[in-house]
């Protein structure tokens, strides 16, 4: 696990942006795994700027997002579909038919999980997977206790996750109770993984990620088993290391 401590959030975002651009520029048909949440917002802004300055093109890029809330349609401002449109896809030259986010509002979620996996399989392995880190150690929406061998599945959200994400909603009652997420095994099949963590609220989780034991109680701990992981932190997130 390669750990990079950046001076601040802007540097973290810039560092992550460079890793994404390298992946895009070194692959004919790059496949990116993308994350939502507040942490990668700066990276997306930096990518849009790089696109505007013609340092990168997304025209041959395919993307698969990690997760989506169950019950929120594409147009819902709190859906991760909407997040991705607003934070990246609408502002770059990506083929919108090549951007995939798990569907949150189908009739048959189990089938949707299988279809999502199959679609990923058709595109080959993910070249670079971006991850955030939940305060409880979740990656994607794989909450503590999720077996390491899971593939894309439906999960009940932890109360701590609903509380942490309530800031985006009018009230905690509006935060969905379930989500669809790539599984831990799915994530681990990516060729390269970059995990971003920023701010004081992540410092305990970061310490446990770096120094703690490998256990399903802290899903991100699985990353020690992967041979190409870069953890990018700002000083606050790294302050207990």
- Active-site positions read 67, 136, 138, 143
Cβ proximity to ligand GLP, 56 vs 155, nearer residue = 155
Q: Which residue is nearest to ligand GLP (CB)?
A: 132
Distance, CA of 225 to CA of 206 (rounded, Å):
17
**Taking a C-beta distance cutoff of 8 angstroms, is the pair 133, 205 a contact?**
yes
Least distance in angstroms from the C-beta of 137 to ligand GLP: 10
Q: How far apart are the first and last CA of the chain?
A: 14
206 sits in which H/E element: helix 203-211
Phi, psi of 83 (to 5 degrees): -55, -50
**Taking a C-beta distance cutoff of 8 angstroms, is the pair 117, 126 a contact?**
no
Cβ proximity to ligand GLP, 38 vs 108, nearer residue = 38
Least distance in angstroms from the C-beta of 130 to ligand GLP: 9
Secondary structure letter of residue 158 according to DSSP = P
Least distance in angstroms from the C-beta of 230 to ligand GLP: 15
Residues that bind ligand GLP (CB under 6 A): 35-39, 66-67, 132, 134, 140-141, 161, 165
Cβ proximity to ligand GLP, 24 vs 206, nearer residue = 206
């Amino acid at each position: 696990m390669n750990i990079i401590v950046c001076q601040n959030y802007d540097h973290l975002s810039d560092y992550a942006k460079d890793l994404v651009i390298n992946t895009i520029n070194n692959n004919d048909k790059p496949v990116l795994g993308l994350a939502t949440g507040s942490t990668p917002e700066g990276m997306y802004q930096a990518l849009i700027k790089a696109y505007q300055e013609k340092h990168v093109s997304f025209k041959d890029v395919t993307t698969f997002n990690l997760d989506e809330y169950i019950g929120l349609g594409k147009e819902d401002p709190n859906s991760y579909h909407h997040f991705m449109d607003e934070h990246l896809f609408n502002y770059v030259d990506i083929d919108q038919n090549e951007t995939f986010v798990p569907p949150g509002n189908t009739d048959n979620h189990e089938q949707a999980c299988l279809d999502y996996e199959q679609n990923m399989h058709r595109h080959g392995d993910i070249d670079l997977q971006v991850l955030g880190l939940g305060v409880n150690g979740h990656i994607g929406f794989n909450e503590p206790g999720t077996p390491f061998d899971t593939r894309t599945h439906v999960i009940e959200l932890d109360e701590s996750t609903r509380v942490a994400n309530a800031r985006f909603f009018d009230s905690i009652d509006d935060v969905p109770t379930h989500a669809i997420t790539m599984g831990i095994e799915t994530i681990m099949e990516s060729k390269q993984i970059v995990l971003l963590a920023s701010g004081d609220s992540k410092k305990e989780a970061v310490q446990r990620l770096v120094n703690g034991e490998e256990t399903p109680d802290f899903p991100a701990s699985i990353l020690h088993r992967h041979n190409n992981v870069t953890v990018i932190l700002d000083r606050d997130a790294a302050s207990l290391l």
